[in-house]
Amino acid sequence: MPGTSPGMTAEGYLPLHRAAVIGAGAWGTALANVCRRAGLDVVLWAREAEVVQSIAARRENDLFLPGVPVDPAVRVTGDLAEAAGTDLVLMVVPTQHLRSVATGLASHLAPNVPVVDCAKGIEIATGELPSEILAEALPGHPIAALSGPTFAAEVARGLPTAITLAAPDLDLARRLAQAIGLPTFRPYASDDLPGVEVGGAIKNVLAIACGIVEGKGLGQNARAALITRGLAEIVRLGRAKGGRTETAMGLAGLGDLVLTCSSTASRNYSLGLAIGRGESLADIQAQRRSIAEGVPTAAALAALASRLGIELPIAAAVNAILHQGAEIDATIAALLARPFRDEAET
């Protein structure tokens, strides 16, 4: 086409044949399987040498996703430069480490390669969403986000899953969805990038809250109330960041919230459950290799809400319990003592 370089699409993007998955935790490993099943040539980058060795030798991520085979055609490496020779990047790095990894990747990527955020959180130091971090660390690269109700082990095994894939350019979101989509992994395209990322961030904090309520034996009514009022907090922050209310009602909002707040398979819910039963945060984290993103996100949310002048009372309560030494019963009592308000208020 006129104005299009050889080998590029009319929109100026490279054809999508190769995918690099940066981060080999449970979710990154699962997404490597998804991309391979979708017909892409896949390389998976792992920070941990033992993960590289485990996948290369046994085709299994013993550390983060034991018992789930990694597709034999997925290559694994610990070298960012080797991983960067690709048409598409999926960043599956914990949010607090996203900036440093993306900065290390920047000099190795070809121009115009789309980068998809697959993390869920907010950076403590800046209050930025992952897409904002990536836009700064990888200038000139189209940025998208993948978020929704997903447990990594189910996705890795090919069980049916639906998820949202968002980019400011809806055509790019649709193109990426076509590239990685499968009958059992269904990405729904959106152009509401901040709305999708806000849902993914807050739901982890709300899952900790629901786990605490369960651990304290406060009943199913209380958990249902937390989920519903938590959804209002997602809407409130989403709007403040330029997102749309309807996005919070979709897969990346309500869908992810319900899944994460109702199963011990959720790292964040199970952490809250342990805290509600009297365990300390330090002891819980010392027993785990995987990261519960809601822990740092709670602190980041408190600072961001203050900066934006909005109320996120449930998120603030979780932050107080996790990071400020607040007593659980007193914090719950303070939440219950808040003034009555109209349900339609957001």
Of the listed 120, 203, 216, 241, which one is catalytic? 203
pLDDT for the residue 150: 97
The model scores a pTM over 0.85: yes
Nearest partner of 35 among 154, 133, 177, 153, judged by Cα: 177
pLDDT for the residue 341: 83
Cα distance between residue 127 and residue 319, in whole Å: 15
The reply to whether 241 belongs to the active site is: no
Cα distance between residue 257 and residue 200, in whole Å: 8
Helices (H), the chain: 26-37, 49-58, 80-83, 95-106, 130-137, 152-156, 170-180, 193-215, 220-240, 245-248, 256-260, 267-276, 281-286, 294-308, 313-323, 328-336
Q: Which residues share a beta bridge with 187?
A: 163
Cβ density class 81-100: b for 16+ within 10 Å, e for less: eebbebbbbbbbbbbbebbe
Q: Which domains does the chain have, with CATH numbers?
A: 18-191 (3.40.50.720), 195-336 (1.10.1040.10)
Written as six digits, the tokens of 204 are: 């982890």
pLDDT for the residue 71: 97
Name the 3-class secondary structure at 90.
strand
pLDDT for the residue 346: 63
Cα distance between residue 45 and residue 105, in whole Å: 11
pLDDT for the residue 13: 59
If 0-12 CB within 10 Å is exposed, 13-18 middle and 19+ buried, where does residue 111 land?
Answer: exposed
Specify whether the CB–CB gap between 141 and 165 falls below 8 A: no
Average pLDDT of each block of 10 consecutive residues along the chain (346 residues)? 41 80 97 98 97 97 96 97 95 97 96 96 96 97 98 96 98 97 98 98 96 95 94 96 97 96 93 96 90 93 96 96 96 88 76
pLDDT for the residue 290: 79
pLDDT for the residue 4: 36
Is the alpha carbon torsion for 315, 321, 322, 323 positive or negative?
positive
